[in-house]
Structure 1
Amino acid sequence: MDLRIFTEPQQGASYETLLKVAKATEDLGFDAFFRSDHYLRMGDADGLPGPTDAWITLAGLARETRRIRLGTLMTAGTFRLPGVLAIQVAQVDQMSGGRVELGLGAGWFEEEHKAYGIPFPKEKFGRLEEQLAIITGLWATATGEEFSYDGTYYQLENSPALPKPAQGKVPVLVGGHGATRTPRLAAQYADEFNIPFASLEDSARQFGRVRAAAEAAGRKGDELVYSNALVACVGRDDAEVARRAAAIGREVDELKANGLAGSPAEVVDKIGRYAAIGASRVYLQMLDLDDLDHLELISTQVQSQLG
């Protein structure tokens, strides 16, 4: 089971804070550092000192880390034109020596679009499908050849399809709860399918849909990696769990029901139940980015027990 650290910087984090978390992620043996792609805080967080851009952040971290994978859950398709995003991701992949992964979603948080003057189109899923086709198509085009695309939302003419990612093919993540279109897109374009903040039952159901869609598309269901994103709140005892829950404004019982919360043994057991339904990777949503002791505890007492 791969454990990856997943951050939500729009809730309030500077680049320096993210750098500290990323370096701790690497030093403590986690597989990857991922971040959300949002420009506006959610809930009661003050959001200070203000948002950081996902791909600018990852470009910086690419030069300041050496081992961990770097990526997004999920880049908002509404934020960037697909050709521009293909260039950005390929460049950051080169800067990292081939350690980047692209999670791409349709975009959903209308308020942040209004706050920063970003168009929020009515039809987002069709745009996402074309974006996936364009980005993967640009990267797959042989050097010296050109790529063109004539879609409903995007048109490219005679693109040189440069630059190329360092690793050749950047892993693409598609995710979500949709019952029909999401599994179909994952089957067509994704290397990994991620379901965020879902129960064991809902995860098993959605993994099954994606496997069926992959097989219908002529792929083996096991070609994809299946993963979950879940909030983490781990403590050595009940008091430490309660303290960490309070620090992120959540209730312990709710976190135990909907996330990975409790003692290391409880969390190891629950991760094992996700593994039993097919998950081989978990993104640990860390909401208190100043609590590096939390990362160390998870590394030494949770990750160490997972095969």
Structure 2
Amino acid sequence: MDLRIFTEPQQGATYSTLLRVAKAAEDLGFDAFFRSDHYLKMGGVSGLPGPTDAWVTLAGLARETSRIRLGTLMTAATFRYPGPLAISVAQVDEMSGGRVELGLGSGWYEEEHTAYGLPFPSLKERFDRYEEQLAVITGLWRTPEGETFSFDGDHYRLVDSPALPKPAQRPGPPVLIGGAGKKRTPRLAAAYADEFNMPFANLPEVREQFDRVRQAVADAGRDAGSMTYSVAQVLCVGRDEEEVRRRAAAIGREPAELRENGLAGTPDEVVAKLEGFAAAGAARAYLQVLDLGDLDHLELVASKVMPRVR
């Protein structure tokens, strides 16, 4: 199982902080550094110094790292038009030497849209726009050089686009889709995604959603092995119970609750939970690190968990 570091910078982080975490993750052997794409904090934290833009951040990291893969969980379709987003991601992919992955979602956090003047349509319209964005972005990337791409949707219309620039990865960077939706989400994953991610769910929920996506992949006529499955879980690991309590307190959580709803406890406990997700089909785990100043946390996982799950 690949282990990937997943951060939530809207809770309060500068680019310099994210760079330190990304470089530590690379040096320690983690597979990837991912970040959320949000413009407003959540919960009872200050959020200072304020949000950082996901793709500006990843562009910087693309030039300051050399091995680790980079991506979003998840970029919101409500934030950007699909054509410019396809250009941005392709450019960052080229800047990184082909290490970028695009997690794309429909958008859900209404308050951040209100705070920064972004339209927030109904759930149905958000999903309709999301589906069209997936079609446009993948269509632009997959159009052969020298040909043009056109699209006539209800929300987006492209006419004779040169479909440039091309990303370093061909036909394009891996696309990630995630979520617990029972019908449309699995269908969209089967149509457009290279990876399906189930975030912040327990093992039975993960199994059920993976099964839905597997069925959608089969119904779409895709090879079963063409889809990668992954989970995302909040991380709180300690060498002993005192360290677990300290790390839980630092992020405003309780150890018992984190053990139930995340990857928490001693390395042995975390390895056992990861093995359960692996048995359900997960090839990757995104470890949500909320205390970005605690690099010893990453070192502990790299030395005591990673060798046992790879």
After TM superposition, the score normalised by the length of structure 1 is: 0.99
Question: Does residue 17 of structure 1 match 2:17?
Answer: yes
| CA RMSD, Structure 1 to Structure 2 (Å) | 0.5
- Residues 212 and 221, structure 1, Cα contact 8 Å, conserved in 2: no
Letter in 2 for 1:294: H
- Residues 211 and 222, structure 1, Cα contact 8 Å, conserved in 2: no
1:141-184 deviation line (CA, Å, top 9, x unaligned): 00010000000110001100000000112100000000000000
Of 169, 186, 202, which aligns to 1:167? 169
The total of aligned residue pairs comes to 307
Deviation at 1:193, TM superposition (A): 0.1
Of 274, 279, 295, which aligns to 2:277? 274
Separation in structure 2 between the aligned mates of residue 221 and residue 182 of structure 1, nearest angstrom: 17
1:267-299 deviation line (CA, Å, top 9, x unaligned): 001100000010010000000000000000000
Of 196, 201, 205, which aligns to 1:198? 201
Q: Which runs of 5+ in 1 are unaligned?
A: none
Q: Which runs of 5+ in 2 are unaligned?
A: none
Tell me what 1:298 maps to.
301
Tell me what 1:132 maps to.
134
Structure-to-structure mapping, 1:203-282, within 5 angstroms = 203-282=206-285
Letter in 1 for 2:160: N
1:59-118 deviation line (CA, Å, top 9, x unaligned): 000000000000000000000000010000000000000000000000000000000001
Tell me what 1:112 maps to.
112
- Residues 232 and 261, structure 1, Cα contact 8 Å, conserved in 2: yes
Tell me what 2:149 maps to.
147
Deviation at 1:221, TM superposition (A): 2.5
Separation in structure 1 between the aligned mates of residue 160 and residue 308 of structure 2, nearest angstrom: 52
Q: Helix, strand or coil for the counterpart of 1:205? A: helix
Tell me what 1:184 maps to.
187
Letter in 1 for 2:305: V
Separation in structure 2 between the aligned mates of residue 221 and residue 166 of structure 1, nearest angstrom: 26
Q: Helix, strand or coil for the counterpart of 1:124? A: helix
Letter in 2 for 1:155: R
Letter in 1 for 2:136: I
- Residues 210 and 221, structure 1, Cα contact 8 Å, conserved in 2: no
Show structure 1 runs of 4+ deviating over 6 A.
Answer: none
Separation in structure 2 between the aligned mates of residue 276 and residue 142 of structure 1, nearest angstrom: 39
Tell me what 1:121 maps to.
121
Tell me what 2:64 maps to.
64
Separation in structure 2 between the aligned mates of residue 176 and residue 3 of structure 1, nearest angstrom: 19
Deviation at 1:220, TM superposition (A): 2.2
Letter in 2 for 1:160: P
Deviation at 1:205, TM superposition (A): 0.2
